[in-house]
Amino acid sequence: MPALLPTLALIILLMTGCNNATDSAERMPPQPISGDDICHVCGMFITEFEGPKGQAFMQSHSDARKFCSTLEMFVFLQQPENQTQLRHAYVHDVGVTPWEAPKDDAFIPAADAWYVVSHDRRGSMGHNLAPFSSHEHAEQFVVVHGGEIITYDDIDLELLARLGRHEGSGHAAHSMAQ
């Protein structure tokens, strides 16, 4: 039995090393968004709209799936058939890039971002989750635009449906009053 311990330790070490190498090798950098890129969900030209965009790398594709809004990307990612296929995703950090025309060098890992929801800014499909790499920037955004700060793990289909219907935001009440 003691003779098996070094062999077992070596196998575990090799398996751990392989898993880490695979994870880092599979992480593709964010791809630039061009004027010809269309949203994977709605087919609209991505750069024709304000607000943060998203892109996701799936197990079955080497190219990013690009989205005209963070809301569209998260609705796509929350679908059961896509949840297990996600390798990684990126969103624009609107703490460092303009809402009106987010820059390609402002993409951050979606899983690491802070998000502001139920704010007064809009994107291509209405409400858009506003991503930030810094909690402080998210807090500053809330002071100006309202909303609530959440994390990546807080995002689910129930939240996205509520945001899509403009529930919990000043936008729905404002639209009804007009």
93-140 pLDDT, tens per residue?
999 999 999 999 999 999 999 999 999 999 887 899 999 999 999 999
CA 156 to chain centre: 12
Q: How many helices (H) and strands (E) does the chain have?
A: 6, 9
Both tokens of 15, joined, read 């398996």
Both tokens of 117, joined, read 């929801």
Across-strand partners of 13? none
Residue-range definition of the domain harbouring residue 92: 4-177
Element (H, E) at 88: strand 86-92
Both tokens of 67, joined, read 């989205």
Give the count of domains, the chain. 1
Q: Report phi then psi at 101, rounded to 5.
A: -155, 80
Region 63-87 average pLDDT = 96
Element (H, E) at 108: strand 107-109
Both tokens of 12, joined, read 């575990």
Instruction: pLDDT band for 2, please (50, 70, 90 cuts).
Output: low
Region 24-30 average pLDDT = 76
